[in-house]
Structure 1
């Protein structure tokens, strides 16, 4: 098996568990730049009268708010990871800025994003893979993104009840350090815990799927982004502006 970014150990862990945490994906300088951008984006968004959900600060379609977010969407190393889990043809289907403040209760109990699984030849291909870039340390009680390892392989009827909440047997919390990238199969059972800490849980989120999927309603890229003549073939593929390309060339 040819891998573009993952080690064989990481690939086996991904196939087994349905999620993967990669530490030090972003360096301290990048974290500083992204955190400043997130604060400015959120301030500008609120200043326009946008109302936040009751339990999280959220900017959907964050790629519309600056080139910096587009660059993270197509981060070269993450593109290698996506090639390892999808193959050479995939697209971006949604993207978010999330800040969960101290004391905020969960915005997402135990659930799957999809029950669809696919096989292309002998390769299992996820219907979607979501990537969280954590911009600050996440303590154990800091509203962790959490997973039930191996649940991507389980039918719905065998999944434990979502009522277990923070007492879900066998769950693993992503109490990770700043700069960690966490990716997971949409079929993996997951949740967000209450933020009982005194710290914000800060993340940028990008969701990818096979190229035949379209961007989720409400996240469609603007014409400004789609018609930008400076777009690379890779960016066009991710934005859905160049469907069904001869995929491998876009990574060159």
Structure 2
């Protein structure tokens, strides 16, 4: 199914998929013309504002607050079609928390180990989740994402401390939840313009880029509209106070298509 501007309501199976499995695949979220335009903006921003992860060995090159620096990427992060779908998946009002370009270079990348995004979250929120949007074709050999279905519904603490990830980034989830070893694993190759949406607590990983072309994607992070700021021990990067509601001017509510209710 192709998701177009005319589709004001997400297909029921997409919503159910996200809530039951903790992730869902949405083909054709962006049109071909949109992909071309946003890919050009992503490449431009990577050249101007980016860093490469060497600390944890993934070698992913990422931007820093790309959606705040580049008007075209801000347009992507605040795309009404994407925001409307996100709110239907969540079943609650949301705001946009972030938007970054991610690149895995061919021949110089490494696998991204198993993790969940709540490990790194700087928020108290009922729900945090990501839209991972492919700006190029991402077959398995280019490092697409693999998920553990239903892992967002596991018991125990909501998240583990960041220092546990730092001490054992590849195994920390399995140390706390050894039953995750036996979860089925679902790998989702994407065409340019496709997206996956995944819950912040869903365990996932990505392979190395063993192809001959860059893997290029854009990550939009959504959070509950009533979320508040919660710095992590030793990691307080924002000029916000602990417990402060997120300011609307910097983290706006998700927009909806014109005429949507």
TM range (shorter): 0.7 to 0.9
**TM-score computed with the length of structure 2 as normaliser:** 0.70
CA distance in structure 2 between the aligned counterparts of 1:21 and 1:173, rounded to whole angstroms: 11
Give the corresponding residue for 1:196.
210
For residue 108 of structure 1, report the CA deviation from its aligned partner. Answer: 3.0
Within the candidate set 190, 198, 215, 1:176 is matched to 190
Q: CA RMSD in A?
A: 3.2
1:220 and 1:143 map into 2 onto residues whose CA distance is 34
Structure 1: runs of 5+ lacking an equivalent: 116-124, 162-167, 222-235
- Aligned-pair distance for 1:23? 0.8
Residue 143 of structure 1 corresponds to: 143
Deviations 1:19-39 (A, max 9, x none): 111111111111111111112
Distance 1:218 1:80, change over 3 A: same
Contact 1:60 1:219 in 2 (8 A): no
Q: How far 1:219 moved relative to its partner?
A: 6.7
| 1:143 Cα deviation after fit | 1.1
Shift of 1:62: 0.5
For residues 226-245 of structure 1, the aligned pairs below 5 Å read: 237=248, 239-240=250-251
Q: State the shift of 1:60 in Å.
A: 1.9
The CA distance in 2 between the partners of 1:237 and 1:72, in whole Å, is 18
Q: Do the aligned partners of 2:92 and 2:224 also contact (CA within 8 Å) in 1?
A: no
TM-score (norm: length of structure 1)? 0.73
Going from structure 1 to structure 2, the CA distance change for 1:153 and 1:30 (only over 3 Å counts) comes to: same
Q: 1:219 to 1:41 in 2, by over 3 A?
A: farther
1:160 aligns with 2:180: yes
Instruction: Determine the structure 2 residue equivalent to 1:81.
Output: 85
Q: CA deviation at 1:134?
A: 0.5
Deviation at 1:18? 0.8
Aligned residue pairs: how many? 212
SS of match in other structure, 1:131: strand
Q: Residues 1-252 of structure 1 correspond to what in structure 2 (within 5 A)?
A: 5-45=9-49, 51-54=51-54, 55-106=59-110, 108-114=112-118, 127-155=127-155, 157-161=177-181, 170-214=184-228, 218=237, 237=248, 239-240=250-251
Does the Cα contact within 8 Å between 1:114 and 1:127 map onto a contact in 2? no
Residues 20 and 51 from structure 1, CA distance in 2 versus in 1: closer, same or farther, beyond 3 angstroms?
A: closer
Determine helix, strand or coil for the equivalent of 1:110: strand
Residue 169 (structure 1) shift? 5.9
Give the distance between the partners of 2:178 and 2:9, measured in 1 at CA. Answer: 33
Distance 1:4 1:51, change over 3 A: closer
State the shift of 1:71 in Å: 1.3
CA distance in structure 1 between the partners assigned to 2:238 and 2:108 by the alignment: 25
